[in-house]
Amino acid sequence: MPAEPVGERDYLIGWYNLPDRNYSNRKAVPGPGTLIPVFKRAGVYYSTCRGVEVPLKVCPEGLEWGWTPSSMVGTKIGLDEASRKPFIIIEDRKAQENDDYSISGEKQFMTKMEKPACVRDPTIKSPRTHDDMLGCYEPVYFPLIRFMLSKKGSQYWGQGELATKDGWEQMQKEPLEITLLSDKLGFSFGKDKAMIVFNQAQKRVEYVNPDGVTMPLVRVKQPLLPCMESKPSPVEIGIPSWN
């Protein structure tokens, strides 16, 4: 497969660590920080936020949030001209509603790093049937929720689970009935017809909402007792968002 042409912001591609911070006094605090990726696919730059892949567009400072409408418009990643250190400016109108935590326009410096070993590879062998897609999935960049796809008789079902301080809890009292897609391997569910599909080009399973927002998923082992499973990793991945 031919390599992509070099882009004008390829120097920003990589993984970054944003230190943990007390936003009331602006001081750094001990902790693992937040992992923020920048990558490129088919000529488009991306980062992540709450598990979702967010397109980035070129701007004078480097790259900026390219997904609209969004409360995060204006968020930028670049290199500081004086120090040549990578930085992020997080704009979030939801956060600005609380003046004590407003960080609008603040330049926060990051450290470039190797891809962390904790980031899981979502690529899988291409499924041949819908049944091959059944199982338990977590977002690659946001392992605090998961989706369970199952079949009973001829009917397919989906159940969401949410990580809490006590373990995993079901998001619905009863599993949702899900519908097979006719044009691709995958399922639709819920009133808004969100989908979990196999992306043939990327060789991975994705959650896709009606607006086309994509969240890559990784298949994980399903425990017999979800509430007894160990809690997910505390490491946060993606541009922090208040809302």
Give the pLDDT confidence score for residue 228 in this predicted structure: 39
The CA-atom distances, in angstroms, between 95 and each of 36, 154, 238, 240, 241 are 19, 46, 16, 11, 8
Q: How far apart are CA 107 and CA 122, in angstroms?
A: 32
What are the start and end residues of each CATH 2.40.128 domain in the chain? Answer: 130-234
Would you give the distance in Å from CA 2 to the centre of its chain? Answer: 27
> What's the CA gap between 151 and 177, in Å, rounded?
10
DSSP 24-74: TTTEE-SS--EEEEEEEETTEEEEEETTEEEEEEEETTEEEE--SS-TTTT
| DSSP letter assigned to residue 154 | T
Query: Which pLDDT band, with edges at 50, 70 and 90, does 60 fall under?
Result: very high
pTM above 0.95, yes or no: no
The contacts of residue 3 (CB under 8 Å, 6+ apart) are none
Q: Read off the pLDDT of residues 80-112 as tens digits, 9 standing for 90 and up.
A: 999 999 999 999 876 655 555 567 778 999 999
Question: What is the CATH number that goes with domain 130-234?
Answer: 2.40.128
The number of angstroms, rounded, from the C-alpha of 90 to the middle of its chain's C-alpha atoms is: 16
The pLDDT tens digits of the residues spanning 33-59 come to: 899 999 999 999 999 999 999 999 999
